[in-house]
């Protein structure tokens, strides 16, 4: 249950080293969109492209592989990709949209497809939804405070940020690495993340994250029939190197542990809020 429905799960990485360099983990998102773009499965993808401030992403419609490459890597702050779905059809004229997003964004996407109030042009145009695992996210200023005040790294010098092994990691362009315990970052978390009961983007066509697979590799859940077809075609075309999830460390048990941790922790918070009368009207099956 905690891992959602899926047809297959594996450890994988992009076969193309150019995609992997600069990607967050195995480059699954970028490689899959690049394949889908070149194969005509999508005619553009909504990604977290570069914004005005360093490491502040902006929802961007990528219609070329170069634009996909420019959007690689995880930005640990909010990027409202869903806000672009109407624009994608209206201003960009896309008929086959790819979109990447966190579990909450995948939920919003599926709701928008079911009840397309204000987005009537969208439901049948979502061609590939890739979800990324997520424990929590931060507002931009929160992430900036973590990086600059706690890690002592100027945002301009930041090459990569990561959360893993119980720590927040900041890597600089010059190769320095700073790590701080997550207990220092908790207070900056987006409060909305604490009512989320999905760690592994259950509603995506394909969802992926680093947890469960070795460094540089990604854990990939293939969830829907559409996801299975596109993943299968891409794998057959040699886009990915794939390993059996049972043969890698730490494996699926860690994904399950963290998913349980998120769900049970957030369920407690939801129950606590219900005690104040908040959320009771939402018909939430968990309270
Ligand atoms: C807030 C957040 C928390 C995460 N927490 C976890 C976790 O707890 N465990 C785990 O295993 N994985 C987590 N991930 C996912 C992980 O960091 C990678 O994004 C994922 O493994 C994909 O890596 P990749 O190499 O396949 O992607 P890449 O090929 O590098 O592409 C990443 C794609 O994600 C898009 N993107 C980047 N930042 C955002 C954003 N803020 N919002 C929406 N889209 C974005 C990029 O534009 C790009 O298209 C988290 C991601 C985010 C954004």
pLDDT reported for residue 284: 54
CB 19, CB 70: distance < 8 Å: no
With H, G, I as helix, E, B as strand and everything else as coil, classify residue 219. Answer: strand
Q: Is 47 in the pocket of ligand 1 (CB under 6 A)?
A: yes
Give the list of residues 6+ apart from residue 92 with CB closer than 8 angstroms, or none. Answer: 44, 61, 63
Determine if ligand 1 sits within 6 Å of the CB of residue 29.
yes
Mutate-to-test residue for ligand 1 from 9, 24, 135, 216, highest number of ligand atoms within 8 A of CB:
24
Q: What is the pLDDT of residue 287?
A: 44
Q: How far apart are CA 72 and CA 77, in angstroms?
A: 14
* 14 phi/psi in degrees, rounded to 5: -65, 135
Among protein residues, the one whose CA lies closest to atom 49 of ligand 1:
47
From first to last of its 287 residues, the chain has per-residue pLDDT tens of 899 999 999 999 999 999 999 999 999 999 999 999 999 999 999 999 999 999 999 999 999 999 999 999 999 999 999 999 999 999 999 999 999 999 999 999 999 999 999 899 899 999 999 999 999 999 999 999 999 999 999 999 999 999 999 999 999 999 999 999 999 999 999 999 999 999 999 999 999 999 999 999 999 999 999 999 999 999 999 999 999 999 999 999 999 999 999 999 999 999 998 888 887 655 555 44
With a 6 A CB cut-off, is 142 part of the ligand 1 pocket?
A: no
250 preceded by a cis bond (ω within 30 of 0): yes
Atom of ligand 1 nearest to the CA of 77: 41
Q: How far apart are CA 159 and CA 169, in angstroms?
A: 11
Any ligand 1 atom below 6 A from CB of 76 = yes
Global confidence as pTM? 0.96
* CA 276 to centroid of ligand 1, rounded, Å: 34
Three-state DSSP class for 158? strand
Calculate Rg over the CA atoms of the chain: 18
d(CA 79, CA 102): 9
pLDDT of residue 278: 81
- Sequence-distant (6+) residues with CB within 8 A of 147 are 55, 153, 155, 158, 161, 170
Q: Is 210 a pocket residue for ligand 1 (Cβ < 6 Å)?
A: yes
> What domains sit in the chain, N to C, each tagged with a CATH number?
8-137+190-276 (no CATH), 140-188 (3.10.450.750)
Site of tokens 């859940």: 221
Residue 280 has a pLDDT of: 60
Question: Is the CB–ligand 1 distance for residue 262 below 6 Å?
Answer: no
Per-residue confidence (pLDDT) for residue 276, from 0 to 100: 84
> How remote is the CA of residue 109 from the centroid of ligand 1, in Å?
17
Nearest CA to 82 out of 107, 65, 63, 52 is that of 107
Report the pLDDT value the prediction gives residue 283, as an integer from 0 to 100. 54
**Closest ligand 1 atom number to CA of residue 19:** 29
């Amino acid at each position: 249950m905690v891992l959602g429905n899926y047809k297959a799960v594996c450890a994988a990485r992009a076969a193309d080293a150019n995609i992997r360099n600069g990607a967050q983990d195995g480059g699954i998102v970028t490689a899959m969109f690049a394949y889908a773009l070149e194969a005509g499965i999508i005619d553009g993808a909504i990604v977290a492209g570069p914004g005005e401030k360093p490491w502040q992403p902006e929802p961007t419609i990528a219609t070329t592989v170069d634009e996909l490459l420019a959007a690689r890597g995880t930005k640990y702050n909010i990027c409202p990709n869903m806000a672009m779905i109407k624009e994608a059809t209206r201003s960009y004229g896309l008929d086959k949209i790819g979109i990447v997003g966190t579990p909450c964004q995948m939920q919003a996407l599926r709701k928008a497809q079911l009840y397309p109030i204000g987005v009537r042009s969208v439901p049948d145009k979502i061609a590939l939804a890739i979800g990324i695992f997520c424990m929590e996210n931060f507002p931009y200023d929160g992430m900036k405070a973590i990086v600059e005040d706690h890690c002592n790294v100027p945002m301009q010098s930041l090459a990569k940020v990561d959360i893993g092994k119980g720590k927040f990691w900041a890597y600089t362009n010059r190769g320095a690495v700073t790590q701080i315990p997550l207990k220092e970052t908790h207070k900056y978390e987006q409060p909305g993340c604490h009512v989320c009961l999905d760690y592994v983007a259950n509603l995506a066509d394909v969802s992926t994250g680093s947890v469960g697979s070795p460094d540089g590799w990604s854990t990939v859940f293939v969830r829907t029939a559409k996801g299975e077809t596109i993943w299968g075609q891409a794998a057959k075309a040699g886009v990915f190197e794939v390993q059996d999830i049972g043969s890698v460390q730490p494996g699926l048990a860690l994904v399950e542990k963290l998913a349980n941790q998120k769900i049970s922790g957030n369920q407690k918070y939801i129950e606590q809020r219900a005690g104040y009368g908040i959320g009771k009207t939402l018909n939430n099956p968990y309270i």
